[in-house]
Structures are given as C-alpha cells and as structure tokens.
Amino acid sequence: MPTRKQRRRALKERRHEYETVWVDAEGNELEEAPEEVEAAPSGKGNGAKPKPKAKAGPQRGGRALREPPAPSWQRAGKRSLILGVVVFAFFYLAGSKGHHNLGSALLVSVLYTALFIPFSFMIDRFAYNRWLRRTAQQPRKR
C-alpha cells in the first residue's frame, strides 16, 4: 500500500495532466479539431502580437500601484454629501423609540457632513503624498 506522501504526489501529478477534447453539437467526442477552430488564429505563432505585460513595480502585494487622484475639495464635498444622506436616513429611521424627528436627524446629518469634508480631504491628501513618495516623485508645494 502506498504511503500518504506517495498518494499525495500521485494526485498532484494527475492534477496537472490535461488534454483538449473536442465535442460536437450532439455531445460526441471528436478525434480531430473542427474546421472552424483550426481556421481561427490561436494567437501563437500565426503572426499575432502577444499582449504586452504590465509593468510590475517592486512591492509586497505583487500588483501595480494605482495612481490616486490629486486631492480636491470638490470631491471631498461630494463624498460628504453622500455620507450626509446616509446618516440622515439612518438617524431618521432609527429615531428614539419609533418617534421619527425630522429636525434632529437633519441637524445631526448636517453636523456629520460638515465634519467629514475636511477629514476626507486630509485622507485623500495623505494617500496622494504617500503615492508620490513611493514612486520617488516630490509632492507639489502649496
């Protein structure tokens, strides 16, 4: 009887073996590839240009860094308006003991929205400056 290690190795080897099987419209296996598949360019050796590979920078995650947009007050304002609507809906629907108070929900949502605008701008600025430092560029002077 094979050992556990031998069984595992056999499974690994079997896992990486594959073959192409051609099936017709009725589901019968074919010995050769259909004509329309043979006529179509496969992208290998037929003069087709291979896709260029993406530049991979030295990083831990193995992905290319995405350039964050430059920070702007307009984007921060739009984001905070979305948050304000969500906060208003939450506080209006989750009012104390089922009593929906429009005024208090509106006041709280306006307060949260006003506080979120500079916070969002600072987070965007931090992410943008960090990206500039990682790509060895200098941050813009104000």
CA-to-CA separations, 71 to 21, 124, 134, in angstroms, rounded: 54, 5, 17
The total number of structural domains in the chain stands at 2
> Which domain does 27 fall in, by range?
4-39
Q: Which two tokens stand for residue 96?
A: 């104390």
Q: What is the pLDDT along the chain (142 residues), one digit of tens a residue?
A: 788 888 888 877 777 666 778 788 888 888 788 777 666 665 555 555 555 555 545 555 667 767 888 999 999 999 999 999 999 999 888 876 667 788 888 998 999 999 999 999 999 999 999 888 888 776 656 5
Q: Is 120 part of a structural domain of the chain?
A: yes
CA distance linking residue 75 with residue 120, whole number of Å: 9
- Cα angle for residues 135, 140, 142 (degrees, 5° grid): 155
